[in-house]
Chains A and B, each alone.
Chain A
Amino acid sequence: DVKVTQSSRYLVKRTGEKVFLECVQDMDHENMFWYRQDPGLGLRLIYFSYDVKMKEKGDIPEGYSVSREKKERFSLILESASTNQTSMYLCASSPGGLYGYTFGSGTRLTVV
């Protein structure tokens, strides 16, 4: 089975801190995605990547950046955390085409 691993299950950070959320997949998938899940808003795409060093903005990229230096790793960066970035963050990977996504277990980030 494909495994998508997110480095932290729970994080608490202070406003203004730089925050790194790490995601690693072990099945050589081309595509990786970062979503956030908020009540009533569902899953919203922040950024995605088709290949190493490539990235595309999703629906809500403001306040975030990403890095994909290796195929298996896709990092989400909050340059200066704010309280409205308190959310559940979900990483996913996919081999592309019509294959669905495999999600990680999520990181619950609280910004205080």
Chain B
Amino acid sequence: DQQVKQNSPSLSVQEGRISILNCDYTNSMFDYFLWYKKYPAEGPTFLISISSIKDKNEDGRFTVFLNKSAKHLSLHIVPSQPGDSAVYFCAARRYTGNQFYFGTGTSLTVIP
């Protein structure tokens, strides 16, 4: 049973515009969340994290928003650049848990 879901398999955005990637989770016990970015033929790399005590975390062009009541998080990339074209995975876990649970991924294409 998929506990972390990314319902959009793909997204295309013009360079310079905002990219919004969404992630939903079903387990209300999850309290720590990550976003990973993956280029083809490479392993995923860590992008940004957020804990449940916050509703927003920013790192340069990347901002993650968390809506605990909706069990929803989103990643905003502003402005989008062609180098951001990759597959993005969200991941969630409990503080007391053993592992992160990953979403199915969203393939972002930034069009120059």
Q: Which residues of A approach B to under 8 Å, CB–CB?
A: 4, 9, 33, 35, 40-45, 48, 50, 56, 58, 90, 92, 98, 100-106, 108
CA distance A100 to B90 in the complex (A): 12
Chain B binding site: helix, strand, loop or mixed by DSSP?
Answer: loop
A interface SS class = strand
**Are A40 and B32 closer than 8 Å at their CB atoms?**
no
Given contacts A40-B9, A42-B89, contact A9 B41 (CB under 8 A): yes
CB distance from B66 to the nearest CB of A (A): 15
Residues in B neighbouring A48, C-beta threshold 8 A: 98-99
Known interface pairs A45-B99, A48-B99, A100-B49; A106-B9 also in contact (CB < 8 Å): no
**B37-53: which residues lie under 8 A (CB-CB) from chain A?**
41-46, 49, 51
Interface residues of B (CB under 8 A from A): 2, 6, 9, 32, 34, 36, 41-46, 49, 51, 89, 91, 93, 95, 98-100, 102-105
Q: Are A100 and B46 in touch, CB under 8 angstroms?
A: yes
C-alpha spacing A106/B41, complex, angstroms: 7
Max chain B C-beta neighbours (<10 A), residue from A9, A50, A101, A102: A101
A101 to B59, CA, bound (A): 19
- How near does chain B come to A33, taking the closest CB pair, in angstroms? 7
**Chain B residues positioned under 8 Å from A108 (CB to CB):** 41
Residues of B with C-beta under 8 A to A40: 9, 104
Contacts A98-B95, A100-B49: A106 and B102 contacting too (C-beta < 8 A)?
A: no
* Residues on the B chain within 8 Å of A90, using CB: 43-44
Who on chain A is nearest to B31 by CB?
A98
Residues in A whose Cβ lies below 8 Å from that of B9: 40
Which of B42, B44, B105 has the largest count of A CB atoms less than 10 A from its CB? B44
B49 with A42: CB separation less than 8 A: no
